[in-house]
Structure 1
Amino acid sequence: MRGLTNMDGSSFITCHRCYTTYSWLLGRRCFYSLDAKKLSFYFRSYSPFPRKNRSLDMSRNFHTNKGVRILFLGTPLCAAKSLQRWLELSQQNPYARIVSVITQSPSEKPSRKRNLSPVHEVAIQNQIPVWTPENIRDTDFLSKVQQWEPDIAITAAYGKLLSPNFLNIPKYGVVNIHPSLLPKFRGAAPVQRALQQGIEETGVSILFTVTKMDAGPIIAQEKVSLNGDELAGPLLIDLFLKGTDLLAQHFNSILNGTVQTLQQNEEEATYAPKLKKEEGWLSFHENAWHVHNKVRAFGDSIGTFANFDIQQKGTQKLKIYKTRLKKMVFV
Structure 2
Amino acid sequence: MATAIVGSTRRAPRRALCWFQRAAEWSRQRELSTAAGPAAGDAERSAGQERHRVVFLGTPQVSALVLQELLRASVEPGSAFEVAAVVSRPSSRHWLERTQEAGPGPGSAAPSSSSSSSSSSPPAGRPNWSRHSASAVERLARDAGLPPDRILCPVSPREPAFLDAMRSLRPALAVTAAYGAMLPQAFLDIPRRGTLNIHPSLLPKYRGAAPVQRCLADGCFASGVSLAFTVLACDAGPVLEAQQVPVPPDVQAPELTQQLFALGARMLLRRLPGVLAGADSAATARPQDEAEATFAPKILRQEAYLDFRRPAAAVHDHVRAMAGWPGARATLLLEARGTGTRDPIELKVLRTRVVPGPGPGPGGAPSGASSGAASAAATGPASVAGGAGGVHGGGAGGSLYGSGAACVGPQVVARGEELLVPCGDGNMLQILEVGRKPGGGGSFALTAREFVAGLSKRRLFLPYRL
Give the TM bin, normalised by the shorter chain.
0.7 to 0.9
The structure-2 alpha-carbon separation of the partners of 1:112 and 1:326, relative to structure 1 and needing over 3 Å to count, comes to closer
Q: Letter of the aligned partner of 1:150 in structure 2?
A: P
Superposed, 1:275-286 pairs within 5 Å as 275-286=299-310
Instruction: Find the partner of 2:353 among 300, 308, 324.
Output: 324
For residue 287 of structure 1, report the CA deviation from its aligned partner: 1.0
Maintained 8 Å contact 1:123/1:130: yes
Instruction: Find the partner of 1:118 among 128, 136, 141.
Output: 136
| 2:179 pairs with 1:158 | yes
Partner of 2:89: 104
Partner of 2:212: 191
| 2:66 pairs with 1:82 | yes
Maintained 8 Å contact 2:253/2:321: yes
Q: Letter of the aligned partner of 1:295 in structure 2?
A: V
Superposed, 1:1-331 pairs within 5 Å as 64-93=48-77, 94-108=79-93, 114-128=132-146, 129-259=150-280, 260-310=284-334, 312=336, 314-327=343-356
Maintained 8 Å contact 1:183/1:215: yes
The structure-2 alpha-carbon separation of the partners of 1:322 and 1:78, relative to structure 1 and needing over 3 Å to count, comes to same
SS in 1 for 2:355: coil
- CA deviations on 1:156-210 (whole Å, 9 max, x unpaired) are 0101111111011112110000000000000000000000000111000001111
For residue 110 of structure 1, report the CA deviation from its aligned partner: 12
- CA deviations on 1:12-63 (whole Å, 9 max, x unpaired) are xxxxxxxxxxxxxxxxxxxxxxxxxxxxxxxxxxxxxxxxxxxxxxxxxxx9
Residues of 2 paired with 1:213 and 1:284: CA distance? 34
Tell which deviates more after alignment, 192-201 or 317-326: 317-326
Residues of 2 paired with 1:111 and 1:159: CA distance? 14
Residues of 1 paired with 2:129 and 2:321: CA distance? 29
- CA deviations on 1:57-84 (whole Å, 9 max, x unpaired) are xxxxxx9543121100001111111111
SS in 2 for 1:223: strand
Residues of 2 paired with 1:222 and 1:113: CA distance? 32
Maintained 8 Å contact 2:92/2:130: no
After TM superposition, what 4+ stretches of structure 1 lie above 4 angstroms from structure 2?
Answer: 108-113, 327-330
SS in 2 for 1:202: strand
- CA deviations on 1:92-124 (whole Å, 9 max, x unpaired) are 243222111100001359999831111111111
Tell which deviates more after alignment, 70-79 or 305-314: 305-314
For residue 329 of structure 1, report the CA deviation from its aligned partner: 8.8
Residues of 1 paired with 2:129 and 2:196: CA distance? 37
For residue 312 of structure 1, report the CA deviation from its aligned partner: 4.2
Tell which deviates more after alignment, 282-291 or 263-272: 282-291
Percent identity of equivalent pairs: 35
* Number of equivalences: 268
The structure-2 alpha-carbon separation of the partners of 1:218 and 1:290, relative to structure 1 and needing over 3 Å to count, comes to same
Residues of 1 paired with 2:82 and 2:48: CA distance? 12
Q: TM-score, normalised by structure 2?
A: 0.55
Residues of 2 paired with 1:112 and 1:292: CA distance? 27
Maintained 8 Å contact 1:107/1:116: no
Residues of 2 paired with 1:244 and 1:280: CA distance? 30
Gaps of 5+ in 2: 1-46, 94-126, 338-342, 360-466
Maintained 8 Å contact 2:80/2:273: no
Residues of 1 paired with 2:273 and 2:156: CA distance? 32
Q: TM-score, normalised by structure 1?
A: 0.76
Residues of 1 paired with 2:84 and 2:276: CA distance? 17
Greater relative contact order (Cα < 8 A, sep 6+): 1
Q: Letter of the aligned partner of 1:72 in structure 2?
A: F
